[in-house]
Amino acid sequence: MNKPLMAKATAVWLVDNTTLSFKQVADFCGMHELEVQGIADGDVAPGVKGFDPVANNQLDAIEIEKGQKDPLYKLKLKFNAAAVGEEKRRGPRYTPLSKRQDRPAAILWLVKFHPELSDGAIGKLVGTTKPTIQAIRERTHWNINNITPVDPVALGLCKQSELDVAVQAAVRRRAAEGIVMSDDERRKLVSTEQSLGMPEEPKIPSGLEMFARPEKEEKPADFSDADSFFNLPQHDDDDEDDEDQRR
């Protein structure tokens, strides 16, 4: 059901100027019944000026009369051709002005560490447009040399749960398309504790290591036997004495 313009101000006017029930006002304005009761008690929307829906061509006076006579009657919003297609658009989320300067750093972080995310997914996470994402992805952004990648969760641009859901959806989409993920991409999908607990990947030996000869381990001499200790090899002087005797 479509809501009237300035729904809360309209509810204030209906509470102050009609005898409609809280539920009737809540259903017409798209609010909770307790919230309308809070308006009547002065706890909700204090100081909000009422907005007359009859004078602003959103509600017929006949509807109010029918509602006051029958508490179960639901008020009908007057059709306004100018309001057609003005529902809330789905697109990038609103980013406060104080955090908009951090969006390029968050985009660069997502592009670098989560390449499986599409431009549309990144745009929904940090509230940006596809041309900006494409410029950072292709490194044609005017300030690309001064941008440092920063986690968007740390910047407060999105929640960790939202990032996890987006990454998991991207993984399922790539799996459905038959795209195989690399080992580095798989490591990015697990937590830090799980990643640290993984076994180390086997390293490819370099060219020098492949052709290097293995060093032989020298066994220490065993002098536990006394005979082997004293049976030392003869010195060269003994050989010279033998030669002199022959002469």
In this prediction, residue 140 carries a pLDDT of 93
In this prediction, residue 173 carries a pLDDT of 87
Both structure tokens of 131: 């041309």
Please list, residue by residue across 173-191, b when 16 or more beta carbons sit within 10 angstroms of its beta carbon and e when fewer do: eeeeeeeeeeeebeeebee
Separation CA 189–CA 178 (nearest Å): 18
pLDDT surpasses 80 at 240: no
Both structure tokens of 173: 């989409």
Separation CA 242–CA 60 (nearest Å): 138
Contact 94, 127 (CB under 8 A): yes
C-alpha distances out from residue 157 to 102, 123, 162, Å: 8, 11, 10
Q: What percent of the chain is predicted at pLDDT more than 70?
A: 63
Weakest mean pLDDT among 64-73, 145-154, 155-164, 181-190: 181-190
pLDDT surpasses 50 at 35: yes
In this prediction, residue 154 carries a pLDDT of 86
In this prediction, residue 137 carries a pLDDT of 93
In this prediction, residue 192 carries a pLDDT of 40
What would the mean pLDDT of 25-35 be, rounded to a whole number? 89
What would the mean pLDDT of 120-132 be, rounded to a whole number? 90
Both structure tokens of 42: 């002065």
